[in-house]
Structure 1
Amino acid sequence: MHQIKRKDKLSQQEQSTIWDGIEGFSQTQVPATGRYELAFLLRDSDGLLLGGVQGNYDNFGWLWIDSLWVSAALRGQGYGIRLLNEIESEARINGCKNSHLTSFSYQAVDFYKQQGYRVFGELEDYLPGHSRCWLRKNLV
């Protein structure tokens, strides 16, 4: 008999099995989707991590930006823009024509809009008084 059990954190093997299963099904419907990881890190001269951007791109020309963070002490100095430009440039080199991400209204929606992203979806009051926004940008 099959059982369903709760698990708070998946192992790398479990996560891979799920992703491989999704990819296997997807390949019966569309060409191989692919999933290629990208990350750029900002470090000081001692190697301390002060910021970074991570995401992935697929075979359909889309970059997904999972997260972008810059240490509070460095915000407003252009490092976020530089990190975003790096991942977008690498995605373009690899054939991406578009980028998408999600952000909360209290986080970086305005920052992303200033970098050419536009909101295409909004879930109001995701947190009381705050929206979750989905944004996209044409990279070409």
Structure 2
Amino acid sequence: MYQIERKDKLSQQEQNTIWDGIEAFSQTKVPATGRQELAFVLRDREGLLIGGVIGNYENSGWLWIDSLWVSADLRGQGYGIRLLDKIETEARLHGCEHSHLTSFSYQAVDFYKRQGYRVFGELEDYLPGHSRCWLRKNLV
């Protein structure tokens, strides 16, 4: 008998097993995705993490930006732009021609639009009064 277990957080091994299973199935339909993790972190002089960007890219030519964060006291000083530029530049070096991400209307949609992203999907009132937006950008 199989059991379904609720988990609040997967271990890295559990997450990798799920991703590997998806990849194995996908390879029966399309060539290997060649998924590669990519991240850049911003630290202060003492080594404290004060910002970062996390994503991945595949040989499909797409960069997925999962998360970008800069400490509140550093926002508006160009660090977010620099982190975004770093991950996009690295993705281009690996053959990516496009980037995509999601953001809530109360988060960074306008920031991403100023960096050349455009909204291609929106769920209005995903949270009352706020939308969840999907954005994309051509990197070449």
- TM > 0.5: yes
Q: Return 34-43 or 1-10, whichever deviates more.
A: 1-10
Q: Return 108-117 or 12-21, whichever deviates more.
A: 12-21
For residue 28 of structure 1, give the secondary structure of its aligned residue in structure 2.
coil
> Counterparts of 2:64 and 2:91 in 1: how far apart (Å)?
10
Unaligned runs of 5+ in 1: none
Amino acid at match of 1:83: L
> Counterparts of 2:107 and 2:57 in 1: how far apart (Å)?
23
Q: Does 1:128 align with 2:128?
A: yes
> Counterparts of 2:15 and 2:66 in 1: how far apart (Å)?
16
Unaligned runs of 5+ in 2: none
Listed one character per residue, the Cα deviations across residues 79-113 of structure 1 (whole Å, up to 9, x for unaligned) are: 10000000000000010000000000000000000
Match of 1:79 in 2: 79
Match of 1:12 in 2: 12
For residue 113 of structure 2, give the secondary structure of its aligned residue in structure 1.
helix
Which structure 2 residues correspond to residues 97-136 of structure 1 after superposition, within 5 A? 97-136=97-136
Output the TM-score relative to the length of structure 2: 0.97
> Counterparts of 1:42 and 1:99 in 2: how far apart (Å)?
21
Question: Identity over the aligned pairs, expressed in percent?
Answer: 84
Deviation, structure 1 residue 3: 2.2
Output the TM-score relative to the length of structure 1: 0.97
> Counterparts of 1:117 and 1:44 in 2: how far apart (Å)?
29
Aligned residue-pair number: 140
Moved over 2 A (4+): none
Deviation, structure 1 residue 10: 1.4
> Counterparts of 2:80 and 2:54 in 1: how far apart (Å)?
12
Deviation, structure 1 residue 121: 0.4
